[in-house]
Amino acid sequence: MVRAAVGSGAEVTGVVRRTPSERAAPTGTRWVRCDIGAVRAGTALRAAMEGADAVVHLAWAIQPSHDRHQLARTNLLGTAAVIDAAERAGVPHLVHASSVGVYSTGPKDRTVGEDWPTDGISTSSYSRDKVAAERLLDASTVPVVTRIRPALVVQRRAASELLRYFLPALARPLVKLKLPVLPLPDRTVTQVVHADDVADAVLRILAARAAGPFNLAPEPPLRPADLAAAFGGRHVPLPAAVLRAGAAASWAAHLQPVDAGWVDLLLGTPLLDSSRARNELGWVPKYDTYAALADVVAGLRDHSGDRSPLLRPLKLLA
């Protein structure tokens, strides 16, 4: 997002917990160090936002998944602090990165628009927090509030970050291998969107001062066979109850970082119709779902990353 904004000619101020090195930071960016979940974050946030034409709120934590207090500190207290600072600084436009996870359980055989219920998946803490953050936006007095609701956002540079978030350390080398079979429930029908296309949508939203929610997901949906093929194997049907029970037990034992709520999210969230973004913003994704998936899978196999602390490449023993 920062690279795209700088490339568009915008003056960018980035609020971060850890200031990137000069090599990692795009030129033309001013960095402000601030933990948005801290008690006194509001002062630094308001100072950073003074005179801003818009604020794009991207910060979100999904690990450590066993520490609900830490997640709520960033996701809910942090979002509330960002909204409050934007209101106090007189920012005219706030864009919030929400998620497909805000939607209630929906269909896998058709797409839904932004009017689908946003009560989330109750067994997923990620989904509950996304819903709560949107309720905070509902009460905001910022003149223009926009919320993007993308499918899973992927890119090659984020591959190592995804591995850290979703796989135990011992399993990470396995993504380099060809997987002969990939056991998944038949309801594993999902979408992914490339980070470059999300950044393009946000820039279009800012230029148009467009308000309200925008789904962001290219076509076509990815089915279990597509996911298996991307890793060089074939799909083997797996009962959803078995996958959920395995995730719950291994997460409770601290063997892997993904709780059963993520399984419920994968199987429960609807497929997204992005007609509003296409029609009102002229948004045309450069990556379809197959290309976006191929890009991140190539990164997973190479343990790709970037120079920033969160995106740093994994270093594994051969």
Mark out the alpha helices in the chain (DSSP H runs).
2-7, 41-49, 68-72, 78-89, 125-138, 159-166, 195-208, 224-230, 240-252, 260-268, 275-281, 289-302
| pLDDT tens-place string over residues 243-299 | 999 999 999 999 999 999 999 999 999 999 999 999 999 999 999 999 999 999 999
| pLDDT tens-place string over residues 63-121 | 999 999 999 999 999 999 999 999 999 999 999 999 999 999 999 999 999 999 999 99
Rank 79-83, 160-164, 165-169 by mean pLDDT and report only the highest: 79-83
Query: pTM for the complete prediction?
Result: 0.93
Least confident stretch, 184-188, 230-234, 279-283? 230-234
> Residues 10-17: what's their mean pLDDT?
90
CA 142 to chain centre: 23
Q: Are strands 12-16 and 29-33 parallel, antiparallel or unpaired?
A: parallel
Domains assigned to the chain = 2-302 (3.40.50.720)
User: CB burial class (10 A; 0-12, 13-18, 19+) of residue 183?
Assistant: middle
